[in-house]
Structure 1
Amino acid sequence: MATKLKSGQIAKVSGQYGLLGPRGGDTGKEVTVTKGEPLPPTPKPGMSFTLNDKTKH
């Protein structure tokens, strides 16, 4: 199972992070976050992110 990350947590790797609904379901939306940057706010409380695809070097 993939690790759930909360809004505001610092990204440990650059990549595409998928937005998960409050119950953990995939919303079909992704955000790009650079290593060392915080994950953006979620549209609704209880939502989280999971790393879908690391950026290629």
Structure 2
Amino acid sequence: MATNLKPGEIAPRSGEYEIKGPRGGDTGQERTGVKGKPLPPTPKAGQTYEMHRPAHNGAGKAPKK
């Protein structure tokens, strides 16, 4: 998933989101995003998020019945 998400947008999936610079460069920083919750503010204006490592523990999936 190479879609850049803005701070405050709803996370489509739980996992670690990498913070990208204004021109798309790596910042070396990550934040945890939870599916269905807004992504946190970035340290600097113009930065965005990109999914780096999705959660593998089933977070965000419906429980089995």
TM-score (norm 2): 0.82
Superposed displacement of residue 45, structure 1: 1.1
* 2:37 pairs with 1:37: yes
Count of residues paired in the alignment = 57
Deviates more, 1:1-10 or 1:20-29: 1-10
2:55 aligns to what?
55
The residue identity in structure 2 corresponding to 1:10 is I
Which 5+ residue runs of structure 1 have no aligned equivalent?
A: none
Larger % of strand: which?
1
Q: Once superposed, what is the RMSD of the aligned Cα atoms?
A: 1.2
- Bigger relative contact order, structure 1 or 2 (CA pairs below 8 A, ≥6 apart): 1
Superposed displacement of residue 44, structure 1: 1.2
Which 5+ residue runs of structure 2 have no aligned equivalent?
A: 59-65
The residue identity in structure 2 corresponding to 1:15 is G
Identity %: 54
The residue identity in structure 1 corresponding to 2:12 is K
TM-score (norm 1): 0.92
